[in-house]
A and B are shown apart, each in its own frame.
Chain A
Amino acid sequence: MASLRCFLRSGKNAVTAVLRREFHGTPPAAVQVTVRDALNQAMDEELERDERVFLLGEEVAQYDGAYKVSRGLWKKYGDKRIIDTPITEMGFAGIAVGAAMAGLRPICEFMTFNFSMQAIDQVINSAAKTYYMSAGLQSVPIVFRGPNGASAGVAAQHSQCFAAWYGHCPGLKVVSPWSAEDARGLLKSAIRDDNPVVFLENELMYGVPFEMSEEVQSKDFLIPIGKAKIERQGNHITLVSHSRMVSLCLDAAAVLAKEGIECEVINMRTIRPLDAEAIETSIMKTNHLVTVEGGWPQFGIGAEILAWIMEGPAFNYLDAPAVRVTGVDIPMPYAKILEDNSIPQIKDIIFSVKKTLNV
């Protein structure tokens, strides 16, 4: 159902593509691509484009990736460029940062971002802060990527969202793609960026197909880091989200549309730097804001967005307090009924929208 909606949603792109191609007389070459394949293709193309790019992490080579994101890359590029590491995050993250300092462009995969906590000193103190501490002498062109946030039935130690933790730190760029197009364009931008980028994927999105236009399939298709995208236009309320929660927002918007409530859904795409301008512009139109995230509420993404809005020009346009829809403030439980009730559901978004609109 989600994939059908995705197809319908991007129907506008397909139509524009058709109209553009009319002149050349060739049919649009839009294809269905899963997020996983989009990531795989992006890495493949960047590995081909620049010899200094290489991938390291647990099981990325001979296993084809724990989640098969790096499938086929080892066969194609070999041991030098696709490196299986021992289970030593602090060590291999440090090695990746050192390699970046010495002129290479590593992609360091964490099997999940939960394991990045073992290495977080290398990400923050060795990677993020070095350009500043050296006053511009030493740059660190590295990408840390891997699945982030809740999955399905993996319980508390494997379900944490790190968007707020990494989003807190100057010197890092933090990116959270939703669709296949996001994954492709943002990963390419991240790899080409000369700075440390934390690239937060989502395991539950890996298998989801999206329509990808020919333009997006081109080898130099890049999405700029730091720019949000409006996935759905609306006049009544702004929904701001990132990663998998964008899907839920769009689903909620479809349900609300039947009741005459038109939601504007913003896909953040980037956590840091935050595209506050896009959110403010939207609020100036809709006068209402609900943020939606999978992570915990306290000191989180929604908290930051609300603070920005309070301090900025959009505050005066709010007709009601802005609110956050977040994961429940507990470690993630295992039992399905408990897990389902630990993260936002479509009904929670609908409820919060109606409360905010006072309907």
Chain B
Amino acid sequence: MYIGLLQIYFIVPWLASCFRQSGARVVVSARTYADFTPQATFDIKKCDLHKLEEGPPLQAMLSREEGLQYYRTMQTMRRMELKADQLYKQKIIRGFCHLYDGQEACAVGIEAGINLSDHLITAYRAHAYTLTRGGTVREIMAELTGRRGGIAKGKGGSMHMYTKNFYGGNGIVGAQVPLGAGVALACKYLGKNELCVCLYGDGAANQGQIFETYNMASLWKLPCIFICENNKYGMGTSVERAAASTDYYKRGDFIPGLRVDGMDILCVREATKFAAEHCRSGKGPILMELQTYRYHGHSMSDPGVSYRTREEIQEVRSKSDPISMLKDRMLSNNMASVEELKEIDVEVRKEIEDAAQFATTDPEPPLDDLCNHIFYNNPPMEVRGTNPWTKLKSVS
């Protein structure tokens, strides 16, 4: 006991003062990880609650490892999307391309609150989720450029990327919500204590099939976390012009809901953990509204300034950028150094460059893949070509 008192009153404060002192910017000295704060607790915004007595905690713990990992992932997403913007303008990516920059805290925060063995489905702004669910930057970019090394062999494109326990990437607004509840039904049926995160946007939130899904998910107590990513605009229509009630977290009516600061990754993570606990304890579905923002327009064909002001975009960038927020937190709590984060930036840039290089040089899919993957587990069959004499081959 005497030793214990010694530790508390002398040794620990001494150690702490050592940590505090090493904040000095000495370029020459290499800082070991032992110099950093291993873990810190942050205050996070209180969530607005609907039909809930309690909400997620008001504080979140962040370890240095977690912080660095979140930073790296968000930065990877950011740079990947910006690279996609570049490639699209060079006409190397065609068709639809809906970019996620600004919303990174949502994708990373959600994944931090669930397991890879859980399930997730989203709409078409899906590149970031493909990454968090196990896809690599290479195969995502190669899918955008329509090459054989793409995650869907070039046959899906921006909106149709899949990995294990990730059901896309869905092009029809709102259709993914019943699908997600169906995945949750399978989770419950198979009894593996898994859940399904089912995402949709503020635009989709008015879809009838979503309300049909709320009803059945609630009736059957499906382990489904409905998440509305409210980035304030459904294409070019602001939420006020589209929804009679913009309290998206309340729209589930009989389903409990919470409104979450979607620009704060810790807020998103804690809310997701809270929601996951709710589902796993058999209480049925729960709804989360993440208030977030996209810097780009709706898609690459939308400059994004005819229905909102440049000032608004700039304000969000300077005051609420999710990556900056995390970076500031970590730096001001001595959890990382500027150099270290810069190094991560460099590594990320390199990864993106390599991926872009692959995505622009990998060949397109071979023509004899044209008719494959119509049916699963089927003997090879013939598919009519563009004229009666052209019979093409299709294998599973």
What residues make up the interface of A, taking CB atoms closer than 8 Å to B? 54, 80, 83, 85-86, 88, 90-104, 121-122, 125-126, 130-139, 141, 170-171, 173, 194-195, 273, 311-312
With known contacts A94-B178, A98-B182, A133–B189 Cβ distance under 8 A = no
B152, A133: Cβ atoms closer than 8 Å: yes
Q: How far is the CA of A252 from the CA of B351 in the complex (A)?
A: 72
- Whether B94 sits at the interface, judged by CB under 8 Å, is no
Cβ-closest 4 pairs across A and B: A98-B182, A94-B178, A91-B212, A102-B186
Residues from chain A with Cβ under 8 Å of B383 in the complex: 170
| Residue among B168, B177, B220 with most chain A CB within 10 A | B168
Q: How far is the CA of A337 from the CA of B190 in the complex (A)?
A: 53
Residues from chain A with Cβ under 8 Å of B288 in the complex: none
With known contacts A131-B373, A132-B373, A136-B376, A95–B156 Cβ distance under 8 A = no
A86, B167: Cβ atoms closer than 8 Å: no
**What are 29 inter-chain pairs, A to B, with CB distance below 8 A?**
A86-B215, A86-B216, A88-B209, A90-B178, A91-B212, A94-B209, A95-B182, A97-B178, A98-B183, A99-B183, A99-B185, A102-B167, A102-B182, A102-B183, A103-B186, A103-B190, A104-B189, A125-B175, A131-B373, A131-B375, A133-B168, A134-B160, A135-B152, A135-B154, A135-B372, A170-B374, A171-B374, A194-B378, A273-B381
Q: How far is the CA of A141 from the CA of B186 in the complex (A)?
A: 13
Residues from chain A with Cβ under 8 Å of B154 in the complex: 135
Closest to A56 in B: B185
- Whether B39 sits at the interface, judged by CB under 8 Å, is no
Say which residue of B153, B186, B212 sits within 8 Å of A86 (CB atoms).
Answer: B212
A101, B167: Cβ atoms closer than 8 Å: yes
Residues from chain A with Cβ under 8 Å of B209 in the complex: 88, 90-91, 94
Residues from chain A with Cβ under 8 Å of B381 in the complex: 273
Residues from chain A with Cβ under 8 Å of B375 in the complex: 131, 171, 173, 194-195
Interface size on B, residues (CB 8 A): 49
Say which residue of B167, B213, B396 sits within 8 Å of A95 (CB atoms).
Answer: B213
**B200-227: which have CB < 8 Å to A?**
208-209, 212-213, 215-216, 219-220
Q: How far is the CA of A85 from the CA of B209 in the complex (A)?
A: 14
A98, B186: Cβ atoms closer than 8 Å: yes
Q: How far is the CA of A194 from the CA of B376 in the complex (A)?
A: 6
With known contacts A101-B167, A102-B186, A273-B381, A92–B172 Cβ distance under 8 A = no
Q: How far is the CB of A161 from chain B (nearest CB, A)?
A: 23
B153, A54: Cβ atoms closer than 8 Å: no
Say which residue of A125, A126, A312 sits within 8 Å of B388 (CB atoms).
Answer: A312
Q: How far is the CA of A91 from the CA of B377 in the complex (A)?
A: 28
A98, B185: Cβ atoms closer than 8 Å: yes
Q: How far is the CB of B179 from chain A (nearest CB, A)?
A: 4
| Residue among A88, A92, A96, A135 with most chain B CB within 10 A | A135
Q: How far is the CB of B154 from chain A (nearest CB, A)?
A: 8
- Whether B290 sits at the interface, judged by CB under 8 Å, is no
Residues from chain B with Cβ under 8 Å of A312 in the complex: 388
Q: How far is the CB of B287 from chain A (nearest CB, A)?
A: 16
Complex interface bits, B152-179 against A, C-beta within 8 A gives 1, otherwise 0: 1111100010110001101110010111
A126, B216: Cβ atoms closer than 8 Å: no
| Pair count A-B, CB < 8 A | 150
With known contacts A91-B216, A134-B168, A101–B396 Cβ distance under 8 A = no
Closest to A54 in B: B189
Q: How far is the CB of B247 from chain A (nearest CB, A)?
A: 22
Say which residue of A85, A91, A92, A102 sits within 8 Å of B119 (CB atoms).
Answer: A102
Residues from chain B with Cβ under 8 Å of A171 in the complex: 374-375
- Whether B260 sits at the interface, judged by CB under 8 Å, is no
A98, B388: Cβ atoms closer than 8 Å: no
- Whether B304 sits at the interface, judged by CB under 8 Å, is no
Q: How far is the CA of A139 from the CA of B160 in the complex (A)?
A: 14
Residues from chain B with Cβ under 8 Å of A83 in the complex: 220
- Whether B336 sits at the interface, judged by CB under 8 Å, is no
- Whether B187 sits at the interface, judged by CB under 8 Å, is yes
A135, B155: Cβ atoms closer than 8 Å: yes
Residues from chain A with Cβ under 8 Å of B119 in the complex: 102
Q: How far is the CB of A174 from chain B (nearest CB, A)?
A: 13
Residues from chain B with Cβ under 8 Å of A101 in the complex: 167, 179, 182-183
Residues from chain A with Cβ under 8 Å of B373 in the complex: 131-132, 134-136
Given contacts A103-B190, A134-B162, A136-B372, 4 further A-B contacts (CB under 8 A): A54-B189, A125-B175, A133-B152, A135-B373
Residues from chain A with Cβ under 8 Å of B163 in the complex: 137
Say which residue of A102, A139, A273 sits within 8 Å of B187 (CB atoms).
Answer: A102
Residues from chain B with Cβ under 8 Å of A273 in the complex: 381
Residues from chain B with Cβ under 8 Å of A137 in the complex: 152, 162-163
- Whether B77 sits at the interface, judged by CB under 8 Å, is no
With known contacts A135-B373, A136-B396, A195-B376, A100–B171 Cβ distance under 8 A = no
Closest to A140 in B: B376
Residues from chain B with Cβ under 8 Å of A99 in the complex: 182-183, 185-186, 189
A135, B153: Cβ atoms closer than 8 Å: yes
Q: How far is the CA of A194 from the CA of B378 in the complex (A)?
A: 8
Closest to B378 in A: A195
Q: How far is the CA of A139 from the CA of B374 in the complex (A)?
A: 10
Q: How far is the CA of A100 from the CA of B182 in the complex (A)?
A: 8
Say which residue of B155, B215, B220 sits within 8 Å of A133 (CB atoms).
Answer: B155
Closest to B167 in A: A101
Residues from chain B with Cβ under 8 Å of A125 in the complex: 171-172, 175
Q: How far is the CA of A312 from the CA of B219 in the complex (A)?
A: 54
Q: How far is the CA of A86 from the CA of B215 in the complex (A)?
A: 9
Q: How far is the CB of A274 from chain B (nearest CB, A)?
A: 10
With known contacts A103-B190, A134-B162, A135-B155, A94–B388 Cβ distance under 8 A = no
